[in-house]
Amino acid sequence: MLTESFWQRFIPFRKAAPAKQDTCFWQVDIHSHLLPDLDDGVNSLEETLICLKQLADWGIHKVVTTPHVSRDWYPNGTSTIQESLTAVQDLIIEHELPLTIEVAAEYLLDDFFMESLNKGDLLAFGEKRYLLIETGWSAPPFGLDDMIFRIQTHGYTPVLAHPERYKYYHADKDKPTLGHLREAGCLFQLNWMSLCGRYGSQVEKQARYLLQNAWVDFIGSDMHRSKDISTMTRLFNSADIKLLEEQPLLNMSLLTDVKQP
Ligand SMILES: [Fe+2]
């Protein structure tokens, strides 16, 4: 049970981010780091609760939270992630939050991932077995096309997390690489905060390019901690909301989707 002093610490913060019921018309968030101590996301269940309450207030009805998985930084196993979910589900029940939560992961495309893919030991979401993947920041992984193909042949649908954030695609004139990935069947997940200036002007520009091409299959918060809330609030007064409404977003399809093993 949270103490009164805990809530008092956050009362001014919550006043700065007033609830806007149903502002998030996409209703399902598919990218976040809300399981404490598994990665660089939230540090406590108290912080998880603040984030989930705010998402619910904005009209999110379902959260697929996605801890990082990589060999070098976050070698989280499937069972570790699943076990961490129980405490958060208890929290949701205890505080009667009007949303549900399930787990998947954000997989870095390294050799650890390829081993897990071959073993079938991955956490996907939705009927189409969407798999959230990310690539390194300095350069795309060698053989990306082949990895995408192998993901598909194992029965998953690849979803590239935040394609707008990879700098090596920013100078890609006319975006042939991103276009090629889409043609190969890789879906794109845009980060909400990319439209709020969180990662700089070049990322924001690239995010808008994706929107203008109707290349956004999913929007995700990529929320790491409660202080992200004030940044995320900026989206609601932005013209980008109109562009988001015009995307072929799949988020809402997950409300009725049955998760496949
Ligand atoms: Fe992430």
Residue 42 Cα to ligand 1 middle (Å): 12
Residues of the chain with pLDDT under 50: 1-19
pTM of the full structure:
0.89
Give residue 8's pLDDT: 40
Residue 31 Cα to ligand 1 middle (Å): 6
Give residue 17's pLDDT: 45
SS (H, E, C) the chain: CCCHHHHHHHHHHHHHCCCCCCCCCCCEECCECCCCCCCCCCCCHHHHHHHHHHHHHCCCCEEEECCEECCCCCCCCHHHHHHHHHHHHHHHHHCCCCCEEEECCEEECCHHHHHHHHHCCCCCECCCCEEEEECCCCCCCCCHHHHHHHHHHCCCEEEEECHHHCHHHCCCCCCHHHHHHHHCCCEEEEEHHHHHCCCCHHHHHHHHHHHHCCCCCEEECCECCCCHHHHHHHHHHCCHHHHHHCCCCCHHHHHCCCCCC
For residue 188, the tally of other CB atoms under 10 A from its CB is: 22
CA 175 to mean position of chain CA atoms: 23
Please name each of the domains of the chain with its CATH number.
22-255 (3.20.20.140)
Give residue 64's pLDDT: 98
Residue 5 Cα to ligand 1 middle (Å): 31
Residue 183 Cα to ligand 1 middle (Å): 24
Q: Give 12-44 pLDDT, tens digit per residue.
A: 344 444 445 568 999 999 999 999 999 999 999
Give residue 9's pLDDT: 44
Residue 86 Cα to ligand 1 middle (Å): 21
Q: Give 163-175 pLDDT, tens digit per residue.
A: 999 998 888 665 6
